[in-house]
Amino acid sequence: MKNEPVTAKEEDRSSRVMNFGEVVLGFSETEALAEASRCIQCKDPKCVNGCPVGIDIKEFISRLSKKDYDGAYLTIRHKNNFPSICGRVCPAEYQCRKLCVFTKKGEPFASEKAINIHFLERFIGDHGAAKGIELKAAEASDLAGHKVAVVGSGPAGLCAAGELARRGVKVVVFEGLHTTGGVLRYGIPPFRLPRNILDGEIDSLKKLGVEIRTNFIVGRARTIDELFAEGYSAIFLGLGAGIPSFMNIPGENLCNVYSANEFLTRVNLMSAHKFPEYHTPVNIGKHIIVIGGGNTAMDAARVAIRLQNMNGIKPDTTISYRRTEVEMPARRLEIEHAKEEGVKFELLTKPEEFIGGERGFVMRMRASRCELGEPDASGRRKPVVIPSSAFEADCDLAIIAIGLGANTILTGVTPGIKIDKYGDVIVDPETMETSIKGVYAGGDIVGGEGTVIEAMGMAKKASLAILDRLRHLSTGF
Ligand code: FAD
Ligand code: SF4
C-alpha cells in the first residue's frame, strides 16, 4: 500500500532468547530505498531539530534515494561520527522521528508512519563501514601543536575526541576501565549493539589519530592540574553517570539483589554467563524481578530471560514499574522486544521490601499496588500507593534499575570544580566549560542520565568551544 512504512526484519523470537545475537537485522537495499522513497523532502525539515547533533537528514535521505550511498555516508559523518551505533540505539521516536511531518502534534512519541530515519542511518552507516570510507584529519592544521585530554571513552568522550581529531588536534582519551565504550560496552547488550559495530566505529577514531589509554583513572593516576602541567591545552570530561541508585527499602542488601549496572557489567563486560570459562560468575534466579521502566531495566530483563532460557530454567522474568507503560522512559522497540521475548510486566507496582531466607538470600518481594495521581516535577503522573494493596511475589534474583548518578572520583579531588546537589558538573550551557578554565564537560555527567546522541550533542558543543580556545591560545585572538 502507498506510503506504508517499511520496518526492519528481526531475528525469530523463539531462537533469539537462546543467544546474544543481534535482534534487529536492519534494512536490505530494497527496503532502504522503499523507506527513503516515503520521505517527502519537506522544504523546512523539522526532523533535523530533533537530532541533537543536527544531521542533515533530508540531504542524506535524498542521496540514499539516488543510490549515492557514499555521499549519504559522508553527509551523516559530517555531523555524527557513529552512524552505525546511533542507527541502532537512538530513541529516534522521541527525537528526530517525533518531529517528522508524519507524526501528529501532541503525540507522546513518533507515529508509526514517521520515516524510519534510524534504520536508514544504520543502513548507510553499515555501508560506509563495510566499504571502509574514512574521514581524513585536517592536514597541517593551525591547531596541530595542541593536545587535548579527554576523560572517559563513552559516547561523549569519543565524540569529543573525533570532533577534535578531525580538525588536526592531537587527542588522548583516558579511560578508567580496561576497555572503551562506556555504557555502549558494559551496559547495552550485544543483541542490541554488536561488539564488532562498536569496535569498528571506535577504530575509525584511532585511524583519525586518537590515542586511547585504558586502565587510567583521572583523579587517581593523574589530577586535572597534572594533566595541564603535562602540556594539555584543554580537558574534556565525559565521566558518565556510573553510580546506581537504590530504593532504600528493607532487604535491599540481601544476596542476589543486584544493581542493573553490576548485573549487566558482569555479563556484557566480564562474560559471566560463560563462567567458569570466564572468572566472573553471575547468579541466575528462577523468579527474576527487575525494578524500573527505562532502557536499563529492559536490557537487564532481556539479558536475564536469555540466561534463564540458555540454562534450561523455565523463564520467569518480570519488570516491576510504578507507573504505566506510557510513562516508561525506555525505547518503545525495547518494550515490545521484551514482551515478545516473554518478559512479564507488573505495572503500577511499588516494591516495599525484599524478604530473605536463613542464608541471607532474597526469596520474595513485598510490593503495593499504585494508581496514577497528579503530574510531578518531571511532568509524568505520580504513582500513589493504594492503601492495603500489599502483595508478595516469589523473587530469588532482584535487579534494581531505577537510575544512575554521578561518581565523584574525579570531581571529589578537583578543587574549584562546581557540582550540583546530585554531583553533576555545572557548565556554561553555551560552551560546556566548567568552573575551571579550559576544562569542559558533557554527557551524563552534566544533567544526569540522558541518551547516547544527547551526550554526543553536548560533546560536540564543547569541542567547538575547545577549538575556539586553542585558536585563541595560538593566535591571541
Ligand atoms: P558513559 O557511557 O557512562 O561513559 C563514561 C566513561 O567514562 C566510562 O567508560 C567510565 O569508565 C569513564 N570514566 C568515568 N570516570 C572516569 C575517570 N575519572 N577517569 C577515566 N575514565 C572515567 N541511550 C540511548 O540513546 N539509547 C539506548 O538504547 C540506551 N540504552 C541504555 C542502556 C543502559 C543499560 C544504560 C545504563 C544506558 C542506556 N542509554 C541509552 C543511555 C546512554 O548509554 C548514556 O546516556 C550515554 O552512554 C552517556 O554517555 P557518556 O559518555 O556521558 O557516559
Ligand atoms: Fe535521529 Fe539519532 Fe540519527 Fe539524529 S542520530 S538523525 S536523533 S536517529
Domain ranges of the chain: 9-131, 141-242+405-475, 246-402
CA of 156 to the centre of ligand 1 (A): 8
- Which H or E run contains 356? strand 349-356
Per residue in 383-414, pLDDT tens?
Answer: 999 999 999 999 999 999 999 999 999 999 99
Strand stretches in 395-470, DSSP E: 397-400, 404-405, 439-441
303 lines ligand 1 (CB under 6 A): no
140 — pLDDT class (breaks 50, 70, 90)? low
Please state, for a pLDDT cut of 70, what percent of the chain lies above it. 99
Phi, psi angle pair for 54, to nearest 5°: 65, 40
Provide the β-strand partners of residue 349: 369
Q: Is the pLDDT of residue 55 over 70?
A: yes
Least confident of 270-284, 381-395, 436-450: 270-284
CATH of domain 141-242+405-475: 3.50.50.60
Domain 9-131 top-level CATH class: mainly alpha
Q: For 266-308, give the DSSP string.
A: IIIIT-GGGTTTSS------SSEEEE-SSHHHHHHHHHHHHHH
Q: What is the 182 CA–ligand 1 centroid distance (Å)?
A: 5
**Ligand 1 centroid vs 179 CA: distance in angstroms?**
13
User: pLDDT tens, 295-318?
Assistant: 999 999 999 999 999 999 999 999
Give the Cα separation of 24 and 11 in Å (integer).
Answer: 6
- Mutate which of 90, 184, 456 to test ligand 2's pocket (most atoms within 8 Å of Cβ)? 90
- 246-402 folds as FAD/NAD(P)-binding domain (3.50.50)
Find where cell 589509554 sits.
213
Q: Residue 167: is its pLDDT beyond 80?
A: yes
CB of 189 closer than 6 A to ligand 1?
no
Does ligand 1 come within 6 angstroms of the Cβ of 443?
yes
β-strand partners of 244: 404
pLDDT tier for residue 2 given thresholds of 50, 70 and 90: low
The pLDDT score that the predictor gives to residue 144 is 79
Q: What percent of the chain has pLDDT over 90?
A: 89
Distance 454 CA to ligand 2 centre (A): 10
Residue to substitute in 46, 81, 94, 95 for testing ligand 2 pocket (most ligand atoms within 8 angstroms of CB) = 95
Q: Best substitution site from 118, 193, 454 to test ligand 2's pocket, by max atoms within 8 Å of Cβ? A: 118
Peptide bond into 276 cis (omega under 30): yes
Mean pLDDT of 61-67: 98
Mean pLDDT of the chain: 95
Higher pLDDT, 231 or 14: 231
Strand partners, 393: 365
Average pLDDT of span 66-75: 97
Task: Using alpha carbons only, give the angle 401, 402, 404 rounded to the nearest 5 degrees.
Answer: 90
Q: Which residues line ligand 2 (CB under 6 A)?
A: 51, 55, 57, 80, 86, 90, 92, 95-96, 117-118, 121, 453
Report residue 138 as a C-alpha cell. Answer: 585536517
SS3 344: strand
For residue 60, report the distance from its CA to the centre of ligand 2, in Å: 12
Question: What is the Cβ-side half-sphere exposure of residue 277, based on CA atoms within 13 angstroms?
Answer: 5
The ligand 1 atom at the shortest distance from the C-alpha of residue 452 is 25
Residue 358 predicted with pLDDT over 80: yes
Q: Give yes or no for residue 349 having a pLDDT over 80.
A: yes
Rounded mean pLDDT, 189-213: 95
Q: Supply 273's cell numbers.
A: 554467563
Residue nearest ligand 2's atom 2 by CA: 90
**pLDDT level of residue 89 (50, 70, 90 thresholds):** very high
Decide whether 9-131 matches 141-242+405-475 in CATH topology. no
Could you report the per-residue pLDDT of 24-41, keeping only the tens digit for each? 999 999 999 999 999 999
Distance from residue 200's CA to the centre of ligand 1 (Å): 18
CB distance 219 to ligand 1 below 6 Å: yes
Closest C-alpha to ligand 2, atom 8: 118
In this structure, what is the dihedral angle of CA atoms 145, 177, 202, 82, given to the nearest 10 degrees?
-100
Residue-wise pLDDT tens digits, 406-439? 999 999 999 999 999 999 999 999 999 999 999 9
Q: Is the CB of 329 under 6 A from ligand 1?
A: no
CA distances from 231 to 171, 174, 175, 228, 389 (A): 12, 15, 19, 5, 62
- Mean pLDDT of the 322-332 span: 93
3-class state of residue 213 by DSSP: strand
Pocket lining: 125 vs ligand 1, CB cutoff 6 Å: no
Mutate to test the pocket of ligand 2, among 47, 53, 98, 109 (most ligand atoms within 8 A of CB): 53
Mean pLDDT of the region 111-126? 96
Q: Could you tell which of 27, 47, 51, 333 is best to mutate to test the pocket of ligand 2, judged by most ligand atoms within 8 Å of the CB?
A: 51
Give 239-259 pLDDT, tens digit per residue: 999 999 999 999 999 999 999
Mean pLDDT of the region 134-142: 76
Question: For position 454, what pLDDT does the model report?
Answer: 96
